[in-house]
Amino acid sequence: MSPSLRTVFSTTAIAILSVFALLPFYIMLIMGTYQNEDLFTKIVLVPGTYLLENFKTVAASRFDLVYLNSLIVSLASTVLSVFVSAFAGFAFAKHHFKYKNKIFAAVLLTMMIPGQLGLVAYVIEMRYLTLSGTLLPLIMPWVANAFGVYWMTQFIKSAVPMEVLESARMDGCSDVGVFFRIVVAFIYPAITTLSLLVFLWSWNNYLLPLIIINKPELYTIPLGITALGDAYRTDLAAQILGLTLGTIPVLLLFAIGSKSFIRGLTAGSVKG
Amino acid sequence: MDAVKRRWVPYFFLSPYMLFYLAFGLIPMIFSLYVSLTSWNGISEKTFVGFDNYKFLFNPDSYFFKSVGNTLLFVSFTLPLQIIFGLIIASLLYSRWVKWKGFFQLVNFLPYIVTPVAVGLMFNLLFDWQSGFVNKILLHLGLIDEGIYWLGDPLYARMVIIVMLFWKGFGYTMIFYLAGLANIPKDLNEAAQVDGASGMRTFISITLPLLKPVTIFIVITGIIGGFQLLEEPMLLLGGAGMGSSAAVIGGPDRCCLTTVWNMYDTAYGSMTRYGLGAAIAYGLCLIIACFSFIGARFYRGEPE
């Protein structure tokens, strides 16, 4: 095969697979632009004209509040998780202390433990602390993130040169100062990748809010989407539009960040 | 003086993680272990029952092993598909022959980042008996005479779940293979080509063996992740509506009941048996531990 023929062939193959990946999204988008009755009778392939009407139905269900809740939860989880992970990663990568290797192994071991293990008691703990009426229970589990610690440790180990840290300390920089002024500057790729992952995980989390959150004012996106189904059982089209709207933020985030996300992954853990 | 002060520095950096892990990770876990040894509905007093909850897991009425079996079935069908397709797409994207790499990379990764709840609902709509896109297309093409009841038949429902999980997951394997391919030194492939090896031959005898750690990583995380499966089958079979209505726990004949769904239903769904729910979680953890142990042995056995 000549090179140009190969290009055509390979690109076509990828394009066909990509159509498979995109088709459900496309159908979802299109269905959101039709009137409910049409969905049962027609095969819809091109955009309809009912988008604005459906949008009004969704807006009437206070979907903006649901959005805000999700944003608060995901942003807080991301910031806290990345910060705490980087702190711990710095300790493991660049400091010496007693039982360091054993503690690190224990942290790795907790990565294998499914998050549901302590769930029953966590819910009771939150009730006991009278936090179940707030968004805090949805944020806390992400803060101590074993994967994040592992990720940051590996990255800080290889990316931050020891000499730079030592010369900064010679110049009288405090240890906290070293972290914020020097370490952070070296680990931007790791921060980006971890932020995207934690944001995605907390944005998509369903089980925990389903069990803990019982007030509609505190619903996050996954709960809000299912609640749309309750309120508009008959209005499929509005519900589908809600699905699309709930998905857009993470899609945008990854569209913007996907390059550095993959660069971070390549530089990071997968070396074996 | 300075040396004494310095010794505290690592503990200072570690403390936020340790405190949060202790308060919201370890303590709930230990308390859950205690709850799993009791009979409790969250309101009345706990009664200590020893290992009764764990014994009940072996009773078919708990659906524990059925749900574990279902989960394993889904993983064993979807994981190989995801690996094959992820690898093919990654190698194509990594080759010199494909244009608009960044675009295709993003498009194929999109299904993975969509909210699992949305994925379940989306496939629920696509495979709906009456208004679903799939039935309408099949009817339109004349391949079937009347709509197939996809989500009401155990075999079909399982097939739909496998298709759905495959669709959602192949982008994830693709990303890791892309990262793995980027870490293979280019001169290895070039040397093989200079020696006259064909592209296919280079791929099989050089690229594939070097990707083995990535594959093992994908298999381990795939099995662990697979055991946490909940939202997609729950929303696929329950449709919208909070949680799962009592009629559709686990789909037809509970053929699609996953372990976590079983736990949710036992503790917070149709029953409020906290003790049994906690025992299911610990049972699941034991099973995951077995797989992790086997996986870790493979992982360690590979290099060198």
Dist CA A145 CA B21 (whole Å): 8
Q: Does B272 have pLDDT greater than 70?
A: yes
Instruction: Mark the ranges of chain A whose per-residue pLDDT is less than 50.
Output: 270-272
Dist CA B85 CA B199 (whole Å): 19
B5 confidence band (pLDDT: 50, 70, 90)? low
Looking at residue B65, its pLDDT comes to: 94
Dist CA B89 CA B171 (whole Å): 9
> Regarding predicted confidence, which is higher, A260 or B51?
B51
pLDDT, one tens digit per residue, over B166-188 is: 999 999 999 889 888 888 888 88
Mean pLDDT across B274-294 = 91
Query: Per the domain annotation, does A189 fall within a domain?
Result: yes
Looking at residue A70, its pLDDT comes to: 95
**Measuring CA to CA, which residue among A84, A96, A196, A191 is closest to residue A146?**
A84
What six digits make up the tokens of B155? 């075999």
Task: Please report how the helices B274-301 and B212-227 are oriented relative to each other, as an axis angle in degrees rounded to 10.
Answer: 170
Q: Does B1 have pLDDT greater than 50?
A: no
Q: Does B30 have pLDDT greater than 70?
A: yes
Mean pLDDT across B185-202 = 80
In degrees, rounded to 5, the angle at the alpha carbon of residue A150 between the alpha carbons of residues A147 and A154 is 140
Mean pLDDT across B244-254 = 69
Contact residues, chain A, for B224 at CB < 8 Å: 112, 114
Query: Per the domain annotation, does A7 fall within a domain?
Result: no
Flag if B113 and A250 touch (Cβ within 8 Å).
Answer: yes
Flag if A114 and B284 touch (Cβ within 8 Å).
Answer: yes
Contact residues, chain A, for B176 at CB < 8 Å: 265, 270
pTM for the model stands at: 0.90
Contact residues, chain B, for A258 at CB < 8 Å: 102, 105-106, 109
The CATH homologous superfamily to which domain B52-301 belongs is: MetI-like (1.10.3720.10)
Nearest to B140 among A13, A43, A255 (CB): A43
Q: Does B239 have pLDDT greater than 80?
A: no
**Closest chain A residue to B92 measured between Cα atoms?**
A10
Looking at residue A45, its pLDDT comes to: 77
Query: Per the domain annotation, does A68 fall within a domain?
Result: yes
The domain tally of chain A equals 1
Query: Per the domain annotation, does A89 fall within a domain?
Result: yes
Query: Per the domain annotation, does A187 fall within a domain?
Result: yes
Query: Per the domain annotation, does A174 fall within a domain?
Result: yes
Question: Contact at 8 Å (CB) between A110 and B25?
Answer: yes
Instruction: Give the gap in angstroms from C-alpha A150 to the nearest C-alpha of chain B.
Output: 12
Interface test with B, best of A90, A120, A218, A228 (most B CBs within 10 A): A120
E-state strands within chain B: 38-39, 47-48
Q: Does B271 have pLDDT greater than 90?
A: no
DSSP string of A144-184?
S-HHHHHHHHHHHHHHS-HHHHHHHHHTT--HHHHIIIIIH
Which residues span the domain enclosing A201? 52-271
Looking at residue A238, its pLDDT comes to: 80
Nearest to A271 among B28, B114, B183 (CB): B183
Looking at residue B179, its pLDDT comes to: 86
Looking at residue A268, its pLDDT comes to: 59
Q: Does B43 have pLDDT greater than 70?
A: yes
Question: Contact at 8 Å (CB) between B263 and B294?
Answer: no
**Measuring CA to CA, which residue among A16, A176, A21, A162 is closest to residue A94?**
A162
**CB-based burial label for B46 (10 Å; 0-12, 13-18, 19+):** middle
**Measuring CA to CA, which residue among B70, B66, B68 is closest to residue B256?**
B70
pLDDT > 70: what percent of chain B?
Answer: 93
Looking at residue B261, its pLDDT comes to: 93
Question: Contact at 8 Å (CB) between A116 and B284?
Answer: yes
Instruction: Give the CATH number of the domain where residue A221 resides.
Output: 1.10.3720.10
Nearest to A43 among B18, B42, B136 (CB): B136
Beta bridge partners of B47: B39
Question: Contact at 8 Å (CB) between B89 and B173?
Answer: no
Looking at residue A272, its pLDDT comes to: 36
Contact residues, chain A, for B27 at CB < 8 Å: 118, 121, 125
Looking at residue B80, its pLDDT comes to: 96
Nearest to B113 among A122, A144, A251 (CB): A251
Question: Contact at 8 Å (CB) between B158 and B256?
Answer: yes
Task: Please report how the helices B154-182 and A3-31 are oriented relative to each other, as an axis angle in degrees rounded to 10.
Answer: 130
Looking at residue B267, its pLDDT comes to: 92
Neighbours of B171 (CB within 10 A): 22
The DSSP call for residue B38 is E
CA–chain centroid gap for A80, Å, is 13
The residue to which tokens 């992954």 are assigned? A265
The DSSP call for residue A58 is H
